[in-house]
C-alpha cells in the first residue's frame, strides 16, 4: 500500500514538475525582438516589444515568405511578428536592396521558383509587374473588403496610383513616400536666411551658404547619383513645380517641354553649389552630409526628421525645419509634392500559400496596424488620411511634419506606372546624368529623351 | 585482337565528362544564341522571332558602343598596371624568406574578400564628406575642398581602376612570384660566374625566361577584367553620365531592369565575339613576342 502511495505521489510530483517546465500556455507573454536596419551602410539594432499570443491562431503552423526592401526591413519584420502573434502564421521576411526588388519578383515568378508569397513593389513598376504576370488580380477581394478595411481612408493620391492598372487592382498601399524640403535651422539662422519659397530663392540660399561655408558647409544637398529612383526623383521635384510633366493627358511624351528644360537648367545650376558631387550623391551620401551638419537644405522623404533626431546617428538633433517644395517660375509655376518612392504590397501569382498571403495583405492595411507601423522608426510613411490625424503618429513625427505631409498631398505629382516605364526611365536617367555632368545641355538631353521615348512608345502601340 | 568494348573504352570513359560539359557550357550558349534572334522579355521568352533586329539595334546603340570602349580601356589599363606591378613586387620579394612569407599571406586577403565588400570599402574611402582620402588629404593641405572621386567623369573610371588594382595585383604578384621561383638555377649561376651585371642578368635571362608566364598572366587577367561588374554596380552604377558604364553592367541593366532578354542576349553574343577576337589577337601577339625574345 505504502509502495503504491509512494508511486502515485512520485508520479504526481513528476507531472507537476513537467507542468511547471512547460511554457506559460495560458498567459500572453511580452518579449523583446531584435531588428536590424542598415543606416549609412551600418547595421542599426533596435529592440521591439511584442506580445506573443498563447492561444493558437487560425493559421497556426502555416508559413509565408514576404519579399521586402532594405529600407523597410525593420517595419516589415515588426508587421510580420504582429501577424504571427495574432494568427499563428510565420512570415519569413526576405530583404533585398530597393533597386533589385522588381527583378527579384519577376525572376521568382518567371523561373517558377515561387519563393515569395507576398511581394513589396515600387509603384512605378506596377504596370511592368502586371504585364509580366507577377501580381495576382485582387479586384474581387478589394471590392469585398473595401468597406470593412476602410479603403476610402487611403490618401487619394496613393489609393489608385499604387494599386490599379486598367481598372483592376493588384495590391494595397504599404508605404507612402513623398519629398519635402528640409532645412537646417542653425545654418539658415547663421546666415540670416529664410527657407526658400521658389527655386530661384533656393539657388540664392544654396549659393550664399556654400560660398560662405569655405568647403565645410554647403547650402544644399542634391541627390543626383545615376539611379532612377534618385536622379529622376530630383528632376521631378523641379519639373512639376515649373508646370511641366513627363506625359500629357493623352499619354504623349512631353519631356522636352519648355517647362521641363527650365526645370533641368535649374537643377544643373543648383548642382554647382551643392554638396559635392551631386552626380555621386545618393541616399547614404546625402544622409552623411545632412546628419553631420554640412548641408543647409535638402529634398528628402518624410522620415528625415526622425532620423535627424536620433542622437546615435545625428549631430544636429532638433536643428531642422520642414517646408513645402519650392515653386518654379513662369506661367505654370506651382508648389508640388512629388511622390518619389512609395510602395505597395501584393500577392505573387506563384504564391505557395495564397490564403495566408491574402490574410497578411488584409492585416497590413488594417487601420490600427498602419498606425502601429507608422509609429516605429521602421521606414514606413502614412498611406491613410486618418494616420495623419492620429495623436500617436503626430507625437511620433511632430505636428509640423504631419501638417506638411497633409498640405503636400493637395499637389502630389506621380510617376508613370505604364508597362514601358522601366525602359523609359533608363533613357531619362542616362540623359539626366549626362546633363548633370555637362556632357549634354539640358535641352539636348531632354530632346534625346523625347526622341527615344517617342520611338519606343510608337513601337509599342 | 581487342574486343569492341576495349577499343571503345576511352570514349566510353570520357562520355560522362563530355555530357556534363555539353549541359553546362553548350546548352546555355545555344539558348542565348536562340534568344538573341527573338524579342523575348523576362516573362515571355521566345515570344517573337525578329531575325537580326537585335543585332542591328546594337550597332546603332550609342550607349552600348561607349560601354564597349569603356570596357576595353578599363581592361587594358588595369591588366597592364597589375601585371607590371605584380612582377615588380615579385622581383622585390623573390629572395625574401620571412618577409616574403608575410607578404604572400597578406596578398591573399584581397583575393579572399568578396568583391562587393571590396567595392563597399572603396566607396567609403572615396566618400567626399567622410572618406579616408578626403579626410587626410584635406588635413595635410593637399586638397583645399573635398573631391568627389566617383562624381567627376574624369575621375570616376580611374577611381574604379584603383580599386581593381588593389584587388587584383596580389593575383599577378603571386603568379609572377611562382614563375620566378620556378626558373632554372643553372643559367643564373653561369651568368654570375661570367661576371654579368644584375641588369644584364635581368635583361638577358630573367625577362626572356619568365615572359611566357607573364603573357599568360596578362591574358588571364585581361579576360577576367573584361567581365568587371561588381565595382561598377556598387561604386557608380555606370555613372556619372556614361563614364563608367561597362558592357557587363549595361547588359545587366537591359536584361534585368528593362527585362529585354532578347536584346540582352544579342549584346552578350556581340561581347563574346569581341572577346574571341581580342583573345585571338593576343595569342598571335604572344607568339610574335616570344619569337623575338628567343
Above 60 in pLDDT, residue B264?
yes
- Which among A106, A276, A292 has CB closest to B259? A106
Cβ atoms within 10 A of the Cβ of A55, count? Answer: 9
Is B240 at the interface with chain A, CB within 8 A? yes
Query: Residue A452: closest CA among chain B residues belongs to which residue?
Result: B61
Helix (H, G, I), strand (E, B) or coil at B150: coil
d(CA B127, CA B149): 8
* Chain B stretch 105-124, residues whose beta carbon is closer than 8 A to a beta carbon of chain A: 120, 123-124
Which residues are A347's β-sheet partners? A118
| Torsional sign, CA A62, A65, A71, A72 | negative
Mean pLDDT of B107-133: 89
Mean pLDDT of B90-103: 83
d(CA A253, CA A256): 8
Is A434 at the interface with chain B, CB within 8 A? yes
Cβ atoms within 10 A of the Cβ of A438, count? Answer: 13
Above 90 in pLDDT, residue A320?
yes
d(CA B225, CA B43): 31
Query: Residue B120: closest CA among chain A residues belongs to which residue?
Result: A41
Above 50 in pLDDT, residue A26?
no
Above 50 in pLDDT, residue A17?
no
Which residues are B238's β-sheet partners? none
Is B12 at the interface with chain A, CB within 8 A? no
Is A225 at the interface with chain B, CB within 8 A? yes
Q: Which residues of chain B are within 8 Å of residue A285 when distances are taken between CB atoms?
A: 127-129
Closest to B129 in 3D by CA, of B105, B153, B109, B145: B145
Mean pLDDT of B252-272: 93
Above 80 in pLDDT, residue B166?
yes
Least confident of A76-90, A109-123, B2-16: B2-16
Residue B129 is predicted with a pLDDT of: 78
d(CA B44, CA B37): 14
Q: What is the mean pLDDT of chain A?
A: 87
Residue A275 and residue B124: Cβ atoms within 8 Å? no
Q: Which residues of chain A are within 8 Å of residue B152 when distances are taken between CB atoms?
A: 277, 279, 437
Query: Residue B254: closest CA among chain A residues belongs to which residue?
Result: A423
Query: Residue B129: closest CA among chain A residues belongs to which residue?
Result: A289
Given a contact cutoff of 8 angstroms between Cβ atoms, the answer to whether A269 and A285 are in contact is no
Residue A407 is predicted with a pLDDT of: 85
Mean pLDDT of A253-273: 96
Residue A125 is predicted with a pLDDT of: 94
Q: Which residues of chain B are within 8 Å of residue A281 when distances are taken between CB atoms?
A: 151
Above 60 in pLDDT, residue B70?
yes
Residue B285 is predicted with a pLDDT of: 86
Query: Residue B245: closest CA among chain A residues belongs to which residue?
Result: A430
Q: What is the mean pLDDT of chain B?
A: 90
Which is more confident, A19 or A94? A94
Mean pLDDT of B143-160: 89
Is A244 at the interface with chain B, CB within 8 A? no
Contacts of A91 (CB under 8 A, 6+ apart): A63, A64, A65, A66, A79, A80, A81, A83, A84, A118, A360
Above 60 in pLDDT, residue B122?
yes
Mean pLDDT of A404-430: 90
Backbone phi and psi for residue A205, each to the nearest 5 degrees, phi listed first: -60, -45
Residue A371 is predicted with a pLDDT of: 93
Residue B104 is predicted with a pLDDT of: 83
Is A206 at the interface with chain B, CB within 8 A? no
ipTM value for the complex: 0.78
Amino acid at each position: 500500500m505504502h509502495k503504491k502511495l509512494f508511486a502515485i505521489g512520485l508520479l504526481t510530483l513528476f507531472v507537476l514538475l513537467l507542468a511547471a517546465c512547460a511554457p506559460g500556455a495560458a498567459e500572453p507573454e511580452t518579449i523583446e525582438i531584435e531588428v536590424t536596419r542598415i543606416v549609412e551602410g551600418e547595421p542599426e539594432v533596435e529592440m521591439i516589444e511584442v506580445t506573443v499570443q498563447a492561444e493558437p491562431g487560425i493559421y497556426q503552423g502555416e508559413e509565408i515568405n514576404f519579399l521586402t526592401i532594405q529600407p523597410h526591413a525593420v517595419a516589415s519584420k515588426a508587421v510580420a511578428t504582429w501577424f504571427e502573434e495574432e494568427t499563428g502564421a510565420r512570415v519569413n521576411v526576405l530583404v533585398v536592396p530597393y533597386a533589385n526588388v522588381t527583378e527579384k519578383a519577376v525572376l521568382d515568378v518567371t523561373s517558377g521558383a515561387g519563393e515569395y508569397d507576398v511581394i513589396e513593389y515600387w509603384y512605378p513598376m506596377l504596370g511592368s509587374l502586371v504585364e509580366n504576370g507577377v501580381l495576382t488580380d485582387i479586384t474581387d477581394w478589394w471590392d469585398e473588403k473595401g468597406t470593412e478595411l476602410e479603403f476610402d481612408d487611403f490618401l487619394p493620391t496613393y489609393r489608385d496610383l499604387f494599386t490599379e492598372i486598367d481598372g483592376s487592382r493588384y495590391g494595397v498601399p504599404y508605404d507612402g513616400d513623398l519629398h519635402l524640403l528640409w532645412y537646417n535651422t542653425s545654418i539658415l539662422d547663421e546666415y540670416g536666411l529664410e527657407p526658400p519659397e521658389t527655386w530661384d530663392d533656393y539657388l540664392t540660399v544654396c549659393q550664399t551658404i556654400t560660398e560662405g561655408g569655405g568647403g565645410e558647409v554647403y547650402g544644399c544637398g542634391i541627390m543626383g547619383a545615376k539611379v532612377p529612383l534618385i536622379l529622376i526623383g530630383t528632376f521631378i521635384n523641379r519639373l512639376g513645380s515649373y508646370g511641366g510633366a513627363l506625359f500629357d493627358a493623352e499619354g504623349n511624351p512631353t519631356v522636352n517641354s519648355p517647362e521641363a528644360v527650365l526645370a533641368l537648367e535649374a537643377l544643373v545650376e543648383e548642382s554647382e553649389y551643392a554638396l559635392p558631387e551631386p552626380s555621386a550623391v545618393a541616399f547614404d551620401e546625402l544622409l552623411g552630409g545632412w546628419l553631420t551638419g554640412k548641408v543647409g537644405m535638402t529634398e528628402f522623404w518624410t522620415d528625415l526628421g526622425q532620423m535627424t533626431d536620433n542622437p546615435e546617428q545625428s549631430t544636429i538633433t532638433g536643428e531642422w525645419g520642414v517646408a513645402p517644395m519650392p515653386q518654379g517660375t513662369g506661367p505654370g509655376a506651382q508648389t508640388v509634392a512629388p511622390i518619389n518612392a512609395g510602395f505597395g504590397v501584393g500577392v505573387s501569382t506563384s504564391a505557395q500559400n495564397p490564403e495566408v498571403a491574402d490574410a497578411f495583405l488584409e492585416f497590413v492595411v488594417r487601420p490600427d496596424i498602419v498606425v502601429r507601423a507608422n509609429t516605429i522608426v521602421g521606414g514606413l510613411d502614412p498611406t491613410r488620411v486618418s494616420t495623419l490625424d492620429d495623436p500617436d503618429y503626430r507625437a511620433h513625427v511632430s505636428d509640423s511634419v504631419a501638417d506638411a505631409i497633409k498640405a503636400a498631398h493637395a499637389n502630389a505629382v506621380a510617376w508613370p506606372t505604364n508597362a514601358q516605364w522601366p525602359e523609359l526611365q533608363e533613357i531619362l536617367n542616362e540623359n539626366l546624368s549626362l546633363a548633370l555632368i555637362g556632357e549634354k545641355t539640358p535641352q539636348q538631353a531632354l530632346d534625346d529623351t523625347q526622341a527615344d521615348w517617342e520611338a519606343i512608345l510608337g513601337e509599342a502601340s | 585482337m581487342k574486343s569492341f568494348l576495349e577499343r571503345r573504352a576511352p570514349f566510353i570513359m570520357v562520355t560522362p565528362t563530355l555530357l556534363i560539359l555539353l549541359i553546362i557550357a553548350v546548352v546555355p550558349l545555344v539558348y542565348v544564341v536562340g534568344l538573341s534572334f527573338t524579342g523575348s522579355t523576362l516573362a515571355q521568352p521566345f515570344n517573337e522571332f525578329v531575325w537580326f533586329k537585335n543585332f542591328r539595334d546594337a550597332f546603332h546603340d550609342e550607349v552600348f558602343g561607349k560601354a564597349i570602349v569603356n570596357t576595353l580601356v578599363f581592361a587594358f589599363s588595369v591588366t597592364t598596371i597589375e601585371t607590371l606591378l605584380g612582377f615588380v613586387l615579385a622581383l622585390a620579394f623573390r629572395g625574401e624568406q620571412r618577409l616574403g612569407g608575410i607578404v604572400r599571406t597578406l596578398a591573399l586577403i584581397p583575393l579572399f574578400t568578396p568583391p562587393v565588400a571590396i567595392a563597399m570599402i572603396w566607396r567609403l574611402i572615396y566618400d567626399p564628406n567622410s572618406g579616408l582620402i578626403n579626410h587626410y588629404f584635406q588635413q595635410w593641405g593637399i586638397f583645399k575642398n573635398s573631391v568627389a572621386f566617383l562624381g567627376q567623369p574624369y575621375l570616376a573610371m580611374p577611381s574604379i581602376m584603383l580599386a581593381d588594382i588593389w584587388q587584383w595585383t596580389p593575383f599577378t604578384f603571386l603568379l609572377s612570384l611562382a614563375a620566378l621561383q620556378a626558373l632554372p638555377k643553372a643559367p643564373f649561376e653561369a651568368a654570375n660566374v661570367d661576371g654579368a651585371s644584375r641588369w644584364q642578368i635581368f635583361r638577358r635571362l630573367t625577362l626572356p625566361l619568365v615572359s611566357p608566364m607573364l603573357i599568360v598572366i596578362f591574358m588571364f587577367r585581361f579576360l577576367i577584367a573584361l567581365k568587371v561588374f561588381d565595382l561598377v554596380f556598387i561604386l557608380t552604377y555606370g555613372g556619372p553620365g556614361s563614364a563608367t558604364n561597362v558592357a557587363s553592367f549595361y547588359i545587366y541593366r537591359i536584361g534585368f531592369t528593362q527585362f529585354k532578354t532578347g536584346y540582352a542576349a544579342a549584346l552578350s553574343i556581340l561581347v563574346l565575339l569581341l572577346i574571341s577576337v581580342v583573345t585571338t589577337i593576343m595569342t598571335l601577339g604572344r607568339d610574335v613576342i616570344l619569337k623575338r625574345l628567343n
